[in-house]
Structure 1
């Protein structure tokens, strides 16, 4: 009943290293480290040179003020559009309320005319004797 894939418990070593240290990665060569340092220095100095040259071509205050003006204009247009949409919704609700009032008024008027026509013609075969009840 011993399968070849299973090992017996006595074959497992009693002292296992749980927190074994991984082999260290190779150290970066000196030439590569120097090249990376030089490239980073060139990138940093290039970016700083670009940022110092930029205000000569573009006035920063003009750019910021135009951006703020555009933002305010956009918010104004957004509010205007929202108010317009609210007005359209309000008009539509008033229209629906008016139509509903017309239809319900017409139905009530027709019902009242039907009751009036029924009450004017009493049927001779049906005589209704009602006793009067005292009011409370």
Structure 2
């Protein structure tokens, strides 16, 4: 019979190293062989630990990620993350929430507003256009 070395990776990232006759692992770790094959390095930069967690982070870093997400949910409110009800998506409900912008009759177009606010800049712009046209001829 062939002798094997147990290749189970422990929590401290060392290999078990027990002598065994089964290629899947020693008497302690043969049940964990498939789980051990799924382990990948932690996604957190600089972390040496392996994990089989769905998030990809080891236990110490996943706790930080989950607590950060919890704090953000508390900070921005749970109602912002929840989907809106179908009654809230109707046009009538949205119109009541959005105030109408006041429009005066004298400000019909944006050009008249610009002329009213910046009369000198309009003249300078026109002068610069005339200079550019004469320079190119």
How does the TM-score come out when normalised to structure 2?
0.23
Structure with bigger helix share is 1
How does the TM-score come out when normalised to structure 1?
0.23
Q: Is the radius of gyration larger for structure 1 or structure 2?
A: 1
Structure with bigger strand share is 2
